[in-house]
Homo-oligomer: A and B are copies of this chain.
Amino acid sequence: MNQIKSYIAEHQERFLTELIDLLKIPSISADKAYKKDVLKTADAIKDSLEKVGCDTVEISKTEGYPIVYAQKIIDKNLPTILVYGHYDVQPPDPINLWDSPPFEPVIKKTDKHPDGAIFARGACDDKGQMYMHVKAMEFMTATNQLPCNVKFMIEGEEEVGSANLATFVKNNTEKLKNDVILISDTGMIANDVPSITTGLRGLSYVEVEVTGPNRDLHSGLYGGAVANPINILTKMIASLHDENNHISIPGFYDNVEELSQQERAEMAKAPFNLDTYKKALDINAVYGEAGYTTNERNSIRPTLDVNGIWGGYTGEGAKTVIASKAYAKISMRLVPNQDWQNITKLFKTHFENIAPPGVTVKVTPHHGGQGYVTPIDSVGYKAASKAYQDTFGKTPIPQRSGGSIPIVALFEQELKSKTILMGFGLDSDAIHSPNEHFGVWNYLKGIETIPLFYKYFTELSK
């Protein structure tokens, strides 16, 4: 592709300003209070896709937040790339831990990002990475170098389970027909160690409620004589891991894909420094399932984490109360072959079974999705690998990610095509955390790499 570097150099200020404007809208899909902002973001995405030369651009209503769909078909005989991304973001709390307001983007230099990084909720996950594709499209249309057909499907409910996207995909398989799906919603190992994500974990997210007495009680008059829902909840959650940190839910590991020693040896080659890892998180030790390394624990092994817990008096000072109810949000990361709906069922049954007399338990599934693995010998993977080779000057490392994009497995099932996960963020970009950011260098490098994927995918598809 010609002039790509010069085009980016010429327009990079505008590329940044446009992204910053997008990041100013608090499109928090988990919180109804932000409904207007989420919808406003969808409109902004629609406008941006029209500006960069898509033929058809539509906002498709769903039972939840709309899906922005766009396409440019230049020749039915050429391959078609479907770009997926999301315009919603995670809630920003705990807000007090942000160095600058989450929806007032600022660019600051960091050790890992000497050219500066954009600090804002959604900077990396996923507005920044999604917008790289819009700007890559701009370059290809502006310079008449779009080599194939392209479709965009940008949703607003990824952070809350993509329930309505699933329906949309099932009802529009013809419209969404494609030869490969391209997503930038993952990370890479380091700016000088490019990698392509070849695996994702599945997810089962549930909420549990433990009810004891029918009202809050005085802990002096009733303490010791009735089941305290919070004490019980802690006992129940604690029992979900054994002394080796294996998950103790019967049947949980039944379908877990066990990697061969050779595969694990391959994985171990990825650059990783435990001291750096611990230092970055300010912890004196790592923690996890016996018999596996840190990189295995957070990629090829399933997990069970409490994401939130609450009950009783949590205000200032002291209140001697036995709460009537205690709650927790619990998510399980799953590996390929674990069916998330089955795991959710196993959790529900087990959690209800271990409730002692004196309390009642309610388990409410939130959402979930299957894990995913993509082969590295596909046309898509080869095209991505060549693109990185050109822009990073290195062959990217195939890498399993611990994260989940539940919709990817569904794409393959419904649309019969593979997904290529070209992520340009870093693990240290603090997505889902306070001070989320995205390197300016990474943002521009993504815009530079994407058109080359289009080029090589078209060529290799001939």
- How distant is the Cα of A403 from the Cα of B222 in the complex, in angstroms? 9
Interface string of A406-439 (1 = CB under 8 A from B): 0000000000000000000001001111110000
Q: B427 near A231 (CB under 8 angstroms)?
A: no
Residue from the list B227, B310, B358 in contact with A314, Cβ < 8 A: B310
Q: A220 near B233 (CB under 8 angstroms)?
A: no
Given known A-B contacts A215-B434, A431-B218, A318 and B241 have beta carbons under 8 A apart:
no
Given known A-B contacts A281-B226, A320-B205, A366-B317, A309 and B234 have beta carbons under 8 A apart:
yes
Q: Smallest distance from the beta carbon of A297 to chain B beta carbons, Å?
A: 4
8 extra A-B contacts, CB within 8 A, seeds A226-B281, A230-B305: A217-B281, A222-B281, A222-B298, A224-B301, A224-B303, A227-B286, A308-B313, A309-B326
Q: Identify which of residues 211-236 in chain A touch chain B, using a CB-to-CB cut-off of 8 Å.
A: 212-228, 230-231, 233-235
| A195 CB-CB contact with B under 8 Å | no
Chain B residues, Cβ within 8 Å of A159? 318-319
Q: A216 near B333 (CB under 8 angstroms)?
A: no
Given known A-B contacts A239-B238, A432-B216, A433-B216, A309 and B314 have beta carbons under 8 A apart:
yes
Between A and B, 21 residue pairs with Cβ closer than 8 Å are: A29-B317, A94-B216, A203-B320, A216-B433, A219-B303, A221-B298, A221-B427, A223-B303, A224-B298, A226-B286, A227-B283, A228-B306, A230-B309, A231-B237, A238-B238, A238-B239, A286-B358, A306-B311, A308-B313, A309-B311, A320-B331
Q: A404 near B326 (CB under 8 angstroms)?
A: no
Q: A402 near B224 (CB under 8 angstroms)?
A: yes
| A378 CB-CB contact with B under 8 Å | no
The size bracket of the interface on A is 35 or more
Chain B residues, Cβ within 8 Å of A427? 221
Which stretch (A128-136, A287-295, A343-351) binds chain B? A287-295
Chain B residues, Cβ within 8 Å of A366? 317-318
Interface string of A350-363 (1 = CB under 8 A from B): 00000011111000
Q: B308 near A230 (CB under 8 angstroms)?
A: yes
Chain B residues, Cβ within 8 Å of A297? 224-225
Given known A-B contacts A223-B298, A287-B226, A315 and B403 have beta carbons under 8 A apart:
no
Q: A357 near B205 (CB under 8 angstroms)?
A: no
Q: Smallest distance from the beta carbon of A409 to chain B beta carbons, Å?
A: 15
Q: A225 near B93 (CB under 8 angstroms)?
A: no
Given known A-B contacts A223-B305, A238-B235, A298-B223, A283 and B318 have beta carbons under 8 A apart:
no
Q: A333 near B434 (CB under 8 angstroms)?
A: no
Q: A329 near B312 (CB under 8 angstroms)?
A: yes
| A31 CB-CB contact with B under 8 Å | yes
Chain B residues, Cβ within 8 Å of A256? none
